[in-house]
């Protein structure tokens, strides 16, 4: 049984960057004005071809570096968004590079109803920043956040990266303490991964020892909780009421469109990823990988995504959606017995003390 979700979310990928960070393996290219102009024209055509007039609840513009767009390009992008039905939009997130934040940019974002900013600060540790190919100071960040507040933005996320080979809990605490002085509503934390074809991998930078990585992760979870942030997803922390509505739709296995180079989407049981070739995309050939999911695939995804949430997912909703008994489809009883899994108020979730080994638990189930 499949019930189509008539409310959707939209992710739009802007692949252009003024500089390329050493750790980033997202699909990106150096900024070139002519490419940007052509890209936005093709983006508009893709949206017109694929979007089917559903009501859009959340909209997320990511990258790459969306804030790298020139003012004329930004205006063109926002004019394209008029294609969507946005009357009941609950959350509109726009990713920014700290160095791009200025009054003119924020005025345009505010004018077009962006109500959430995601700023890729990553760290204030100068050695970590050097390895990442970034450079900014705490004072600069405070000035930019202050400007965002003055312009009326009351929902700000900051990304934080930890897990360099030379890092330990003491060093991570010093870094995180500076980040917290910005008093933002949401913090996304990521353990550094040395990905293929990134500068860090080419430079043969070694990953952190797993035991130290776990110690830092455990510290972050406890420290942010003490500071009033709710740990609601494996890597995400928010003040009450500021959880990312857009990302929650991913983790709740709900449908969403992905538009732009390399963007991923999930519509009508079909998971797809657009081409990563800018050359192909600029020829309006955006087709990449596609996978039509069986009911078993959908259930597996529901588990894998739902267990990323600290509160897991509702058992009754799962069973009503798929017309299957959870305990008959998955070996949950032994995992409940050894406390890998827990049940509370109708929700099944991974024991918070074992979130770090989530993948091992999922392997036992799927």
| Residue 110 belongs to domain with CATH number | 3.20.20.70
- For residues 191 and 303, membership in a common domain is answered with no
Q: What is the CATH number of the domain that holds 307?
A: 1.10.10
- What does the alpha-carbon distance between residue 353 and residue 218 come to, in Å, rounded to a whole number? 9
Claim to verify: residue 241 and residue 120 sit in the same structural domain: yes
As a whole number of angstroms, the distance between CA 123 and CA 134 comes to: 9
Other C-beta atoms lying within 10 Å of the C-beta of residue 31: 18
Rounded to a whole number, what is the largest CA-CA distance in the chain?
60
Q: Are residues 245 and 298 in the same domain?
A: no
Note whether 46 and 187 are same-domain residues. Answer: yes
User: d(Cα 186, Cα 98) in Å, to the nearest integer?
Assistant: 16
Residue 111 lies in a domain: yes
Q: Are residues 356 and 217 in the same domain?
A: no
Q: Are 194 and 342 contained in the same domain?
A: no
- Asked whether residue 246 falls in the same domain as residue 362, the answer is no
Both 341 and 242 in one domain: the answer is no
34 within some domain: yes
Q: Are 49 and 83 in contact (CB under 8 A)?
A: no
pLDDT value of position 1 = 43
Q: Is residue 267 part of a domain?
A: no
Q: How many domains does the chain fold into?
A: 2
Q: Which of 185-199, 219-233, 329-343 has the lowest mean pLDDT?
A: 185-199
d(CA 269, CA 1): 11
Co-location of 246 and 301 in the same domain: no
The per-residue pLDDT of the chain, averaged, comes to 92
Answer whether 174's CB lies under 8 Å from 223's CB.
no
Q: Residue 47 in contact with residue 80, Cβ under 8 Å?
A: yes
pTM for the model stands at 0.93
Judge if 245 and 314 occupy the same domain: no
Q: Kindly report, residue by residue over 87-113, the tens digit of the pLDDT.
A: 999 999 999 999 999 999 999 999 999
**What's the domain range around 314?**
294-366
Closest CA to 309 of 239, 360, 217, 233: 233
């Amino acid at each position: 049984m499949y019930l189509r979700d008539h409310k959707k979310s939209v992710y739009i990928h802007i692949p252009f960057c003024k500089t390329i960070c050493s750790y980033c393996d997202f699909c990106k290219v150096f900024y070139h004005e002519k490419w940007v102009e052509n890209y936005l024209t093709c983006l508009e055509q893709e949206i017109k071809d694929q979007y089917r007039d559903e009501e859009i609840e959340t909209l997320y513009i990511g990258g790459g570096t969306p804030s790298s767009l020139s003012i004329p390009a930004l205006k063109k992008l926002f004019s394209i968004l008029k294609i969507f039905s946005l009357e009941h939009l609950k959350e509109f997130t726009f990713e920014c590079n700290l160095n791009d934040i200025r009054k003119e940019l924020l005025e345009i974002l505010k004018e077009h109803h962006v109500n959430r900013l995601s700023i890729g600060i990553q760290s204030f540790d100068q050695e970590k920043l050097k390895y990442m190919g970034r450079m900014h100071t705490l004072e600069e960040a405070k000035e930019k956040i202050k400007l965002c507040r003055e312009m009326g933005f009351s929902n700000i996320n900051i990304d934080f990266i930890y897990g360099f080979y030379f890092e330990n809990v003491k060093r991570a605490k010093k870094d995180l303490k500076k980040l917290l002085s910005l008093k933002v509503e949401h913090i996304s934390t990521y353990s550094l991964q040395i990905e293929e074809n990134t500068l860090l991998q080419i430079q043969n930078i070694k990953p952190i020892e797993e035991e130290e990585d776990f110690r830092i992760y455990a510290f972050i979870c406890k420290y942010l909780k003490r500071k009033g942030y709710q740990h609601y997803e494996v890597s995400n922390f928010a003040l009450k009421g500021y959880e990312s509505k857009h990302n929650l739709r991913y983790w709740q296995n709900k449908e969403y469109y992905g538009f732009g180079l390399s963007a991923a989407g999930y519509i009508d049981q079909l998971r797809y990823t657009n081409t990563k070739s800018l050359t192909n995309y600029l020829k309006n050939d955006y087709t990449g990988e596609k996978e039509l999911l069986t009911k078993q695939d959908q259930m597996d995804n529901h588990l894998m995504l739902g267990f990323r949430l600290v509160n897991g997912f509702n058992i009754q909703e799962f069973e009503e959606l798929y017309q299957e008994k959870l305990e008959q489809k998955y070996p949950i009883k032994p995992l409940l017995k050894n406390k890998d899994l827990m049940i509370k108020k109708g929700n099944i979730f991974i024991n918070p003390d074992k979130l770090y080994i989530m993948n091992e638990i999922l392997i036992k189930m799927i």
